[in-house]
Amino acid sequence: MKVYKVEVTRDGKWWMVSIPELDGLTQARRLGETEQMAREFIAVETGTPIADVVVDLGVAVGAVTDASARAEQIRKDREEAARLESLALTESRILAQCLAKENVPVRDIGELLGVTFQRASQLVNS
């Protein structure tokens, strides 16, 4: 399946959607509409069913030429942070329960884990 490179830039109140390979240009009011506008343009120009049109969007706004790449990295970082947060919660729960079995007070468990004693109690009892 062919992937069309699409360049999206801001021009006043509009997003300009350029498809260099087809020497095509269309526009959208919202960034969220740009992919659909590009796919529709490509489908009409090439006679390809819109469901078969795949695009690779690149967004540049003024001096920020790498907005798409930076946004993608941020999304990946958020996913990694969520994964690590889940891992930390699981490990905190396990440690809190192990310490409680050794008769360590929940206030001390909280101190060790860097959480309130109320949160430590929740971890022990979860």
- Cα–Cα distance measured from residue 63 to residue 15, given in angstroms and rounded to the nearest whole number: 15
If asked whether residues 61 and 7 sit together in one domain, one would say yes
Q: Is residue 86 part of a domain?
A: yes
Q: pLDDT for 59-115, tens place per residue?
A: 999 888 889 999 999 999 999 999 999 999 999 999 999 999 999 999 999 999 999
Residue 107 lies in a domain: yes
**pLDDT score for 66:** 87
The residue ranges of DSSP E strands in the chain, in sequence order, are 3-11, 14-19, 24-28, 54-60
pLDDT, tens digit (0-9, with 9 covering 90-100), for 13-52? 999 999 999 999 999 999 999 999 999 999 999 999 999 9
Is 52 found in the same domain as 105? no
- Smallest CA-to-CA distance from 2 within 17, 18, 16, 22 is with 22
User: Domain limits at 23?
Assistant: 3-65
Q: Is the dihedral of CA 102, 106, 111, 114 positive or negative?
A: positive
Q: What is the pLDDT of residue 56?
A: 95
Q: Are residues 15 and 41 in the same domain?
A: yes
119 inside domain: yes
Does residue 73 sit within a domain? Answer: no
